[in-house]
Amino acid sequence: MRMKGAEVLLRCLKEEGVEVIFGYPGGAVLPIYDALYSSEVKHVLVRHEQGAAHAADAYARVSGKVGVCLATSGPGATNLVTGIATAYMDSVPLVAFTGQVATHLIGRDAFQEADITGITLPITKHNYLVKRSEDLVRIIKEAFYIARTNRPGPVVVDLPRDIMEREMEFNGYPEEVNLRGYRVLKSCNMGQVLLAVEAIRQAERPVIYAGGGVISSGASEVLQELAIKMKIPVATTLMGIGCFPETHYLSLGMLGMHGTRYANYAVSESDLIIAVGVRFDDRVTGKITSFAPHAKVIHIDIDAAEIGKNFGVDIPIVGDVKQVLEEIVPRLEPREKFSEWHRVIDRWKEEFPLTYSESREPGRIKPQYVVEQIYYATQGNAIITTEVGQNQMWASQFYKFTRPRTFITSGGLGTMGFGLPAAIGAKIARPDMTVIDIAGDGSIQMNIQELCTAVEQRLPIVICILNNQYLGMVRQWQELFFGGRYSYTDISLQPDFVKLAEAYGAIGMRVKEAQDVAPALREAFSVTDRPVVIDFWVEREANVFPMVPPGESLYNMLGGEE
Amino acid sequence: MKHTLSVVVENHPGVLARVATLFRRRGYNIDSLAVGRTENPAVSRMTIVVEGDDVVIEQVTKQLHKLVETIKIYDITDQPTVDRELVLIKVKADAQARSEIIQIVDVFRGRIVDIGPNSLIIEATGDTGKIDAIEASLRPFGILELVRTGKVSMLRGAR
C-alpha cells in the first residue's frame, strides 16, 4: 500500500498501541501534523517542548507503557533535551520523534537544523536519523523495542521532512526485531542465585535496599513477599518509593542524604544488603568507602554495567529483578520470629522519628504539615508528582506511599520544572486517580506555561506550591555550608500565583494559616474540570532534615527534627 | 596498564562517534583506536587500546556492550596475537644523511616510499615497540611529519 511517510509513522504508532503523543508543531513536522489531523492517535498540545518530554515521561512511569513525544527540528528538538536526559537518568521508556530538515539540506546549516542525534548521543539509550524511506518502519519498531526492553531508556528518532512527505510502500508492521548486538536478557546465573539464597538464610541483620528497577520490572509484589517472608526491613531510594508500602512495619522509608535516620543506621549496621534495581547513587550511599561497612552485598540489576560501577559487591546477579526474585523467594523458608535486629530498629524509630516542629513565623505554615495534610486528605490514594528541591524531599518524607507508580519525580537528573508537565502526563495515563504536583515556588516557574495545557485538556490536577520565596534547597546549603550567604536564592519578587492561575483559566487559592490547609485541599479535590493552584505560604527558612552532608558517611546525619 | 580490546561493531555511519562519545563522557583514556571493515562488509572491527586498571576496563567493556551496534568485544590483552601498526615518517635527508637513513630503514625492514629533494618518506610496519624504535632512530635527522595508524590486532590460531 502506498502512503506518505507521515501516514506510515502514524500507522506504526497505532500498531505499537500508542494512545497519546505529547507534542508541539513546527515547520519540519508539518507533514506529521497534517496526518495527525485525521488520526485516531490523541495529541496533547503542550506550550513548550520540554513539557512534552516530561509529560510523556510521566505517562510512561505511571502507565508502564512507552511514552511518546514529538517536536520540530532545531529549537523544537533541542528543547526536548532536558526531558530526554531526565528520562535517561531515571531509565524511563520514551520515544522522542523530532522533525529534521529535508535530507538534501542535512549538514548545510539549513534553517532550523540541529544535529539532534549528535546532541542526544550521551543521553539516549539509542538514536536514529531516518535517511531512507525504506528504513522508516524498521526503525520505529526497533525504537520502541529498545526503549522498553532490558534497562528501559529514551530513544530518539529524527525524521527528515521529505521522508515524511514522500509516498512510500507500507507492507505492514514487522512482528520481530533483528538486532544482533542487542539481546534481551532472559535468564540469570543460577549459581549466583543460590549464593544469594544462602546469604539471606544466614544473615542476622539484613536490609533490602530497593530502587526504581523494582518498579520498572514490576517486581513490587515479589519484593514484598521476600521482605515479609524473611522479615527483612526495606529501605528505598527516591526512585524506589512506592515499591514497598511505607505504612508497613518493615518499611524504613527512604535512605540516603535526606533519608530517615533509622534507614541509614540500619544500612550502616547491617550484615547483608540486598540491593535490588539500584545504582549506588552518591545521594544514597554518602561517602562510598563507608557505605554498609559490615555487610555482605547482593546486587541484582538488569544492567551489568551497574554492577561494580560505583561499589564493589559480593554477590552480583545480572538479570531482570522480578525474575531473579522469583527464583530466590521460593528457595527460602520463612523466618518465624522477629529478631533482636528488629528491636534495634524499633528503638531507632522511636528515638529518631521523622518529625518537625511548629512554625515560628505567624502567617506561615510548616511545609511538612502541608504534605502530611495532602496524605490525610487522599489517604495515600493519589499520584504525587514533584518539582525538585525541598518540596521533593518533603514529599518523599511526609507522604506515605503504598503502591508503585504513584510517586513521580526526577531522581537522577533533578530537573526543576518536571512536576507540572509530569502531573499532566500522569493524569492522562490515569484519569481515575487524583494527581497532585507538590511544587516549590522556584521550580514551578520553570514550566508554569503548562498550566495552559492542563486547562485546555480540562485536567483537574492540584498544584500545591510550598511557597517560601526562596530557592529553598540551595538556600539550605548556603545556610549550612556557606555561612548563610544567600547568594541569589531569595526570590521574593514573584508573580501572584493566584492571579496567574486565574489568568490561565485555572483556579487559584492562597493559604497562610495551618487551619486552612485541609479545607483548601478538600475544596481543590472537589474540582473536576480544571487545574487548581494552591499557593501555600510556608515558613521561609524551614530545612529538610535529617541530612547527610555531601561526602560524609551515612552515620553522620545533621538534624533530628526540623 | 594498557589493555587491547577488539570490538566488532555494525558497519553503520555514526558508530565511531558513539564509541568515541562513550569514552569521552565517562572519562576513559583512549591510547589508540583503529577501525576498518572486515571480511564481512556489514561489520567493522575496532582495535582499541585503553589505559586503566581492571575495574576501569570492566566498566569500559560493559558500557561498550550496551551500545546497540556493538556485536562482540574481546579483551585480547593477554592472548597470543599478531599486532601491527603502520607508520609513515617524512624525515629530513640531505645527500650526506641519505645513506645512513637507508641503512636504518633496512635494519627495521622498512621501505622508502618517496624521495624528495631534501626528504624521504619511510613506511614501516610492526608492533608498537618496533615503531617506537624506528621513530627514535630517525629522530636525530629531523622528523618533518609523522603519522601512525594505531594498533591493529588479530588473535593467533583458529579463533
- Enumerate residues 76 to 135 of chain B having a beta carbon within 8 A of any beta carbon in chain A: none
List the single residue in A117, A118, A181 with the smallest CB-CB distance to B68: A181
Average pLDDT over residues A216-230: 98
> Residue A358 above 90 pLDDT?
no
The minimum CA-CA distance between A304 and chain B, rounded to whole Å, is: 7
Average pLDDT over residues A187-212: 97
Q: Which residues contact A80 (CB under 8 A, 6 or more apart)?
A: A49, A50, A52, A53, A69, A71, A96, A98
Q: Is A506 left (phi over 0), alpha (psi -120 to 50) or beta?
A: beta
Yes or no, beta carbons of A121 and B63 under 8 Å apart = no
Distance (Å) of CA A159 to CA A124, A177, A342: 16, 20, 57
The reported pLDDT for the residue numbered A299 is: 98
Average pLDDT over residues A16-45: 97
Instruction: Tell whether B149 is within 8 A of chain A (Cβ).
Output: no
Beta strands per DSSP E along A46-110: 67-71, 94-100
A164 in Cβ contact with A31 (< 8 Å): yes
Residue B86 main-chain phi, psi, to 5 deg = -110, 140
Please choose, from the candidates A408, A440, A402, the residue with its C-alpha nearest in 3D space to the C-alpha of residue A423: A408
CA A32 to CA A43: how far, in whole Å? Answer: 11
DSSP SS3 for A490: strand
Beta strands per DSSP E along A121-226: 126-129, 154-160, 167-169, 206-210
Locate the chain A residue with the closest alpha carbon to B73: A181
Give the rounded percent of residues in chain B with a pLDDT score beyond 90. Answer: 91
Q: Which neighbouring-strand residues pair with A463?
A: A437, A533
Which stretch of DSSP H or E encloses residue B2? Answer: strand B2-10
Q: Please report which residue ranges of A399-553 form alpha helices under DSSP H.
A: 419-429, 450-456, 472-481, 497-504, 517-525
CA quadruple A521, A375, A237, A473: dihedral, nearest 10: 40
CA A510 to CA A508: how far, in whole Å? Answer: 7
Best mutation target, A125, A309, A313, to test chain B (most B CBs within 10 A): A309
Please choose, from the candidates A288, A277, A308, A192, the residue with its C-alpha nearest in 3D space to the C-alpha of residue B57: A308
Residue A269 main-chain phi, psi, to 5 deg = -100, -5
Locate the chain B residue with the closest alpha carbon to A179: B68
The reported pLDDT for the residue numbered A378 is: 97
B72 in Cβ contact with B134 (< 8 Å): no
A53 in Cβ contact with A95 (< 8 Å): no
> Residue A270 above 80 pLDDT?
yes
Average pLDDT over residues A406-414: 98
CA A195 to CA B5: how far, in whole Å? Answer: 31
Instruction: Tell whether B10 is within 8 A of chain A (Cβ).
Output: yes
Instruction: Tell whether A120 is within 8 A of chain B (Cβ).
Output: no
The reported pLDDT for the residue numbered B159 is: 60
How many CA atoms within 13 Å lie on the side-chain side of A11?
Answer: 19
Q: Looking at this protein, which amino acid is placed at residue A11? A: R
Task: Output the average pLDDT for chain B.
Answer: 94
ipTM: 0.90
DSSP SS3 for A55: helix
The minimum CA-CA distance between B103 and chain A, rounded to whole Å, is: 49
CA A86 to CA A418: how far, in whole Å? Answer: 9
Locate the chain B residue with the closest alpha carbon to A121: B18
Average pLDDT over residues A389-408: 98
Q: What share of chain B is helix, strand, coil (3-state, %, to 5)?
A: 35, 45, 25
CA A113 to CA A103: how far, in whole Å? Answer: 11
CA B34 to CA A13: how far, in whole Å? Answer: 40
DSSP SS3 for A65: coil
The reported pLDDT for the residue numbered A360 is: 84
Which stretch of DSSP H or E encloses residue A393? Answer: helix A390-398
List the single residue in B9, B17, B58 with the smallest CB-CB distance to A121: B17
CA B16 to CA B35: how far, in whole Å? Answer: 8
Yes or no, beta carbons of B21 and A309 under 8 Å apart = no
Q: Which residues contact A131 (CB under 8 A, 6 or more apart)?
A: A103, A160, A163
Residue listed under C-alpha cell 544500612 = A267
Give the rounded percent of residues in chain A with a pLDDT score beyond 70. Answer: 99
Please choose, from the candidates B45, B37, B56, B133, the residue with its C-alpha nearest in 3D space to the C-alpha of residue B81: B45
Comparing A5-14, A388-397, A544-553, B150-159, which segment has the lowest mean pLDDT? B150-159
pTM for the predicted model, two decimal places: 0.96
The minimum CA-CA distance between A461 and chain B, rounded to whole Å, is: 38
The reported pLDDT for the residue numbered A504 is: 98
Average pLDDT over residues B57-76: 95
Mind listing the pLDDT tens digit for each residue in A276-298? 999 999 999 999 999 999 999 99
Mind listing the pLDDT tens digit for each residue in A431-475? 999 999 999 999 999 999 999 999 999 999 999 999 999 999 999
Residue listed under C-alpha cell 618496533 = B130
> Residue A560 above 70 pLDDT?
no
- When pLDDT is cut at 50, 70 and 90, the band that residue A362 belongs to is confident
CA A251 to CA A244: how far, in whole Å? Answer: 7
Yes or no, beta carbons of B68 and A308 under 8 Å apart = no
Average pLDDT over residues A181-189: 92
Q: Please report which residue ranges of A155-219 form alpha helices under DSSP H.
A: 161-165, 190-202, 212-216
Average pLDDT over residues A319-329: 98
Give the rounded percent of residues in chain B with a pLDDT score beyond 70. Answer: 99
Chain A residues inside the 8 Å CB shell of B21 = 121-122
Displacement of CA A174 from its chain's centroid (Å): 31
Instruction: Tell whether A191 is within 8 A of chain B (Cβ).
Output: no
- When pLDDT is cut at 50, 70 and 90, the band that residue A249 belongs to is very high
> Residue A561 above 60 pLDDT?
no
How many CA atoms within 13 Å lie on the side-chain side of B98?
Answer: 12
Average pLDDT over residues A199-224: 98
The reported pLDDT for the residue numbered A361 is: 87
How many CA atoms within 13 Å lie on the side-chain side of B29?
Answer: 8
> Residue A73 above 60 pLDDT?
yes
Q: Which residues contact A184 (CB under 8 A, 6 or more apart)?
A: A149, A150
Residue listed under C-alpha cell 522477629 = A338
Enumerate helices (H) and strands (E) in chain B, giving the number of each: 4, 9
The minimum CA-CA distance between B59 and chain A, rounded to whole Å, is: 6
Instruction: Tell whether B36 is within 8 A of chain A (Cβ).
Output: no
CA B99 to CA B103: how far, in whole Å? Answer: 6
Task: Find out whether the peptide bond into A546 is cis, omega within 30 degrees of 0.
Answer: yes
The reported pLDDT for the residue numbered A562 is: 54
Q: Which neighbouring-strand residues pair with B73?
A: B7
A265 in Cβ contact with A207 (< 8 Å): no
Q: What is the DSSP letter of A346?
A: H
